[in-house]
Structure 1
Amino acid sequence: MTDKIPMAATVMLLRDRDDEMEVLMVQRHRNMQFMGGALVFPGGKHDPADADAAVCATCTSEDVALRITGIREVFEECGVLLAREKGTGGFVGDAHRDQIAARHRKKLEKGEMNMVQLAEAEGIEFCTELLVPFAHWITPTGAPRRYDTWFYMVRVPEDHIHAHDGGESIDSVWISPSQALADEAAKLREITFPTRMQLAKLGRSKTVDAALDAARQSTIVTVLPEVIDGKIQIPPEADYDMVRQDERPGPK
């Protein structure tokens, strides 16, 4: 993990629709210091306790900890629980998921419970292996708040009903990448530069399977944006289509 820069995980929850897949995004509360008012993917800062919540045969210890961070943030912000009953192959059912949310979601949000305790209390295990790494971005040098963020993608269970938390997130929407970018260009939504880059790259795929396959076959290049001649620059080998690069990175 990057020294002195807090680690974070962000998850793109995906589902198929007739013409173009959709991704679940949440609108952050205007009063939030980081990305206040912006439409974002659910995610947040790594908690050291996340490292103890699961094992993953194909993950490094650092990677599994960040995947647990992403799963926790998705549950806190959206109510979607990427977990299975221990010893089974299926996702936690609706009734049990609702019970877990009622008993523990607020405790997680307040830091009164960690993911290890949640798993033990409910007899569940987290589906870390389903999260596919998509991107790795580090907030530019000099920004007032910096994060070393890994982006993951996952197909959301079709029967999971999402519900934003009403605190950090005041709204949520299933939206196609192209529609999200069009709304931002029309100033109907506020979407920050890093999120726009992920949407543009994600939008190359029209189905969830295609998006997951593309991510598995790609090489992730760490992106640390720089401002050169008034424009944001990112490494070309990171394979992004630049979208409106004529802005300077600010405190968002």
Structure 2
Amino acid sequence: MAMVMQGIGGRKLAATVLLVRDGIINGRPDVEVYIQERVSTMANFPRATVFPGGGVDSRDFADGHGKEVWRGPSAEEWGVRLGVEPHVAYALVFAAVRELFEEAGTLLAEHTDGSGLVKNAGQYHGYRELLETHEMSLTDMLQSENLAIRSDLIVPFARWASPEGNREQFDTFSFVAVEPEGQCADGNTSEASSTGYFPARLILDGWRAGLLRLVIPTWASLFELSQFKTVEELLEYSAQVDMSPVLDDAVDNPRYAEFYQAMRTERF
């Protein structure tokens, strides 16, 4: 039986990662999230401020080596949590880990010799371009370096499906991850013109001032993120989040009224 490689309504599956850390803003605790502004030459969402992420492709599906390069909750457990078949859940988790490593240099993995989590991801950064150009799969890299992803280092956060009629048709699963000790995200990717950690409220203020371009899934995630003061609070929330897809009815949801009002007045 052929594996399903499409999302709801035939949309392309995609994964994004909200990489977060605890911060102090004006003397008070706040959650900071890693964002990047896409370069103007990108086919999808040029100049938009986004989280690391991208489309799922054939490299992300298990090829018979799943157990060798996977540690943590199983694909079956993830399938239940995400509301998809286990092989799709496997690909989504792999895509999330891969995209985060490609675009931010953060690697959610451990050494298979029992020596623990990867702390110096920089020693593997030579693989990033090979992954971006599809010359190598994440599975190949992990096997070459005796590594395995840690599926417990990300948690589900949201699922957004592009409205009918949009040029970009994606079924996007968002995840939250905390940067592992010893690692430091960077902007060494051809897809971004600028990157960095910022409080969600500050990013939204930049959008309100017309300085940033946000699409609704990113705006909504930032809005939700702005409700939390610590990463611990955020992770507690994420453990219970509903992963039912948000579809066209988002425009009628009062929670997102500010975004759609801005769109109607053509401020952005």
Normalised-by-shorter TM-score class: 0.7 to 0.9
Deviation at 1:33, TM superposition (A): 1.9
* Equivalent residues of 2:153, 2:177 under 8 A apart: yes
1:23 match: 33
CA distance in 1, matches of 2:110, 2:233: 25
Q: Name the CA shift for 1:185/1:87 in 2 (closer, same or farther; >3 Å).
A: same
Q: Residues 201 and 241 of structure 1 are in contact (CA less than 8 Å); yes or no, is this contact kept in structure 2?
A: no
How far apart, in 1, do the equivalents of 2:37 and 2:144 lie? Answer: 31
- Aligned residue number for residue 184 of structure 1: 207
Partner residue of 1:123 out of 146, 150, 175 = 146
The answer for the alignment partner of 1:9 in structure 2 is 15
Q: Distance in 2 between matches of 1:76 and 1:28?
A: 14
Q: Structure 1-normalised TM-score?
A: 0.88
Report the number of matched residues: 238
Which range moved further: 1-10 or 51-60?
51-60
* Alignment pair present for 1:244 and 2:259: yes
Match of 1:134 among 152, 157, 162: 157
Shift of 1:226: 4.8
Q: Distance in 2 between matches of 1:147 and 1:117?
A: 26
Pairing partner for 2:90 from 42, 64, 70: 64
Letter in 1 for 2:105: G
Query: What is the CA distance between 1:99 and its match in structure 2?
Result: 2.3
Aligned-partner SS, 1:170: strand
User: Separation in 1 of the partners of 2:181 and 2:31?
Assistant: 13
Q: CA deviation at 1:74?
A: 0.7
Structure 1 unmatched runs, 5+: none
Q: What aligned pairs does 1:217-228 form with structure 2 within 5 A after superposition?
A: 217-226=240-249
Letter in 1 for 2:104: C
Structure in which a larger fraction of residues adopt helix: 2
Q: Which amino acid aligns with 2:122?
A: D
Kindly indicate whether the alpha-carbon contact (under 8 Å) linking 2:31 and 2:225 is maintained by their aligned counterparts in 1: no
User: 1:101: which partner in 2?
Assistant: 125
What residue in structure 2 maps to residue 32 of structure 1?
A: 42
Structure 1 residue 225, shift from structure 2 partner: 2.5
Q: Please show how residues 72-221 of structure 1 align to structure 2 within 5 Å.
A: 72-88=98-114, 90-94=116-120, 97-102=121-126, 104-221=127-244
In structure 1, what residue type is equivalent to 2:10?
K
1:89 to partner: Cα distance: 6.5
Check if 1:45 corresponds to 2:60. Answer: no
SS in 1 for 2:259: coil
**Secondary structure, aligned partner of 1:245:** helix
Root mean square deviation of aligned Cα: 2.0
- The runs of 5 or more residues in structure 2 that have no matched partner are 1-6, 80-85
Give yes or no for contact 1:15–1:158 (8 Å, CA) kept in 2.
no
The reply to whether residue 233 of structure 1 matches residue 256 of structure 2 is no
